[in-house]
Amino acid sequence: MIGPSTASTSIFRPLPYGVSAVPELTPQSYGTAPAAFSGFQPTWHSMQPMSETFTSPAGYPITKFTLPNGHRLFIEQRPTQAIGVRTFVNAGSIMENAAHPSQLYPDTGLPSGIAHLDEHCRFLATEHFPMKNTLSNTMTALGSQYNATTSPENIHHDLFFNREDLGSALKLHAEAVLRPIYNPADVNQEKTNVLNEAARAMRPPNFKIGDKLNELLFDRTARQTLGSPQDVLRTTPEHFQQFRNAAYAPTNLVTVVSGNVNPNEVFHILAPEFGANPPRYSPLSARATRLALPPGEIRSANIIDPQFTNSQVVIGFPAPPQTSFTERMAFEFLNEILNGDSLSLLQDQLANRQQLANNISTEFVPFKQTGYFAVGLETTPGREQTTLANTLNIIQQLSQGLVSDQKIEQVRERLMHRFMAQQNNIQVITAQLGEAAICNTLPYYLNYTQLASLVTAEDLMAVSRKYLSPNRFAVVFGLPSHSPGIGGAQP
């Protein structure tokens, strides 16, 4: 990773996800807290936290504590002297005013880019480290590694450190997450850093393709998380307070620790920190990415850029949300079947046999309420339509039972092996466990192999029919500036 803080905005980059059972609220209902929250004061130490223990996919014990204010802690014990801690926030750029006006996303009063800018500010100054950069310098003095990422539907802060520094490192992590202060001079300089980040992210032409595909599918651009320059510059300390109050409510937070630690020791370090966060109602956390593409509609757009020499064809389909476990797992199978190896359908047909496309990529990203499945292909200028048509034709065959039982068994084995191989790394498992916890999809993570063992050919056909329709998709063509236009046979 380069530098602290990364806005995750590309449609071709997996995004962390959040989920909430609370339905979408209208703007009029913002700020109306349920009665249960009125007058509640946090007294974490006066109440017994709920705790439970279960097994991680790698076979290590996980202890879960729920603090009285609703903040959840998950502590996995494994024999590594490097320790990881991540705090996930069920909030993101989805809480902001849309950078590109849309009826799907009513204004919230929060300027675009604030989730990301706020995440940057958490490294600058805090209540106990009010001088700029003293917090981050203290974290670095321990030899730790830290970063944070903002996505449309969640934010996470991470810290990796040596076992010997457990107490100080965990407290510093909580300080960064919970107690930022917004000194105007510091914030103004950080705005410049964010604008630099945006300029850097948007320079490659592929960003424009992902941005447009996001807009066609969700009526929300990929650059939303980076914010419009005007909004970033006009963001005030009051905006930060408003965002912080809405986003960092205890029930919106999950902290995961993994390494050679004692769960009770970790609890006694973190509970006073996170337990002091006042409970509050957070209606904005119910906002979610919405599908903008109606049934039976095909949307397309062209991006012309002199940096392209070959043409790009990027197709986006609706896909299942995070909480539809069976459909989600079926899509993991489809992704593998279409582009998992050199014998997969798209590679075999389009690259090897037809020699129509190269650099084929696929991506399945589930959100809270919807998701997308994207296919990216590079082709010779003039063959864009043929590439699109042939790709759609291959994908359509999935809904007609193209995949054999033998193939499904092979993919099943492969997905299980791959998942288990990932469970050796505290960077990966803190991300996967934390993401599952914040999205209320823990069963999906903890029972991944069990879910994979249940997928059938009928499941694959059903999700293909439901989501991968040749009559409902978005496509963006990236064309070289010398291109005569989109060519080839129409789909």
Partner 1 sequence: MIIPPISPRNILPLSPLPAPDIQLAATQEIGPAQATRLINGAAGYFVQMPNQSNSVVNLLLPATSLMPGTEDLLLAMLVRGSESTKRLRNQLENQGISLHAGRLNEHLCISISGPVGQETQLSNTLLALLTQPIIDPASFNTEKSNLIKNEQGMLNSPDLKFQTALKQRIYGPNHPFSLSPSDRMQIVAQQDLPSLMTRYQQMLQSMNQAKLLMITPQPITEQQRIINDAIRQHAWFRQPYSPLNIPASFPLPNPVGVSGPLLLGNNLLNRALIKSVWKAPDVCDPDYAPYQLLNLLLRGQFDGSFFQKLRTQDGLVYSVNLQEGSKLAQGNCYQLGFEVDLDKVGLALKDIQEVTQNVCQNSMSPSLLNSIKRQYLLASRLEQQQSEKIADQYSSWLTYNAPPPNLHQLHAAIERVTPADIQRVANRIFNPATGAFQTLGVSAPAPVLRQWFPGQPISPI
Q: Taking CB under 8 A as the criterion, which residues in 92-131 touch partner 1?
A: 123
Burial 222-249 (b: 16+ CB within 10 A, else e): bbbbbbbeebbeebeeebbebbbebbbb
Of positions 102, 242, 245, 380, contacts partner 1 by CB under 8 A: 380
Q: Which is nearer to partner 1, 154 or 441 (CB)?
A: 441
Amino acid at 142: L
Q: Which contiguous run of DSSP H or E holds residue 360?
A: strand 357-366
CA atoms in the 13 A half-sphere facing the CB of 80: 19
- Say if residues 384 and 486 touch (Cβ distance below 8 Å): yes
Which residues are bridge partners to 475 per DSSP? Answer: 300, 315
Of positions 22, 33, 47, 50, contacts partner 1 by CB under 8 A: 50
Q: Binding to partner 1 by residue 313, rule CB under 8 A?
A: no
Using the contact rule CB under 8 A, the part of the chain among 91-99, 174-182, 231-239, 303-311 near partner 1 is 303-311
Alpha-carbon span 108 to 90, nearest angstrom: 16
Of positions 2, 35, 36, 185, contacts partner 1 by CB under 8 A: 2
| The pairing of beta strand 298-304 with beta strand 357-366 | unpaired
Using the contact rule CB under 8 A, the part of the chain among 239-247, 264-272, 338-346, 389-397 near partner 1 is 338-346
Q: Which of 265, 368, 255 is nearest to 322 (CA)?
A: 368
Q: Binding to partner 1 by residue 43, rule CB under 8 A?
A: no
Q: Which is nearer to partner 1, 100 or 132 (CB)?
A: 132
Using the contact rule CB under 8 A, the part of the chain among 9-17, 156-164, 243-251, 276-284 near partner 1 is 156-164
Q: Which is nearer to partner 1, 241 or 355 (CB)?
A: 355
- Say if residues 449 and 419 touch (Cβ distance below 8 Å): yes
Q: Which is nearer to partner 1, 216 or 291 (CB)?
A: 291
Applying the rule CB under 8 A, the residues between 160 and 219 that interact with partner 1 are 160-162, 165, 189, 192-193, 196-197, 199-200, 203
Q: Which is nearer to partner 1, 158 or 219 (CB)?
A: 158
Which residues are bridge partners to 377 per DSSP? Answer: 313
Q: Binding to partner 1 by residue 61, rule CB under 8 A?
A: yes
Minimum Å distance from CB 341 to partner 1?
6
Applying the rule CB under 8 A, the residues between 419 and 458 that interact with partner 1 are 420-421, 424-427, 437, 440-443, 446-447, 450-451, 454
Q: Binding to partner 1 by residue 139, rule CB under 8 A?
A: yes
Q: Which is nearer to partner 1, 323 or 399 (CB)?
A: 323
Alpha-carbon span 117 to 212, nearest angstrom: 23
Q: Which is nearer to partner 1, 236 or 358 (CB)?
A: 358
Q: Binding to partner 1 by residue 402, rule CB under 8 A?
A: no
Q: Binding to partner 1 by residue 265, rule CB under 8 A?
A: no
Using the contact rule CB under 8 A, the part of the chain among 24-32, 154-162, 177-185, 271-279 near partner 1 is 154-162
Q: Binding to partner 1 by residue 144, rule CB under 8 A?
A: yes
Q: Which contiguous run of DSSP H or E holds residue 308?
A: none
Burial 177-200 (b: 16+ CB within 10 A, else e): bbbbbbbeebbeebbeebbebbee
Q: Which is nearer to partner 1, 220 or 368 (CB)?
A: 368
Q: Which contiguous run of DSSP H or E holds residue 370?
A: none
Amino acid at 432: Q
Minimum Å distance from CB 423 to partner 1?
8
Q: Which is nearer to partner 1, 1 or 489 (CB)?
A: 1
Output 181-189 pairs: Cβ under 8 A, ≥24 positions apart. Answer: 181/125, 181/126, 181/127, 181/130, 182/121, 182/125, 182/237, 182/240, 182/241, 183/124, 183/125, 183/130, 183/132, 184/237, 186/121, 186/124, 186/125, 186/132, 187/117, 187/121, 187/124, 187/235, 187/237, 187/240
Using the contact rule CB under 8 A, the part of the chain among 31-39, 102-110, 145-153, 264-272 near partner 1 is 145-153
Q: Binding to partner 1 by residue 359, rule CB under 8 A?
A: yes
Alpha-carbon span 341 to 351, nearest angstrom: 12
Minimum Å distance from CB 451 to partner 1?
7
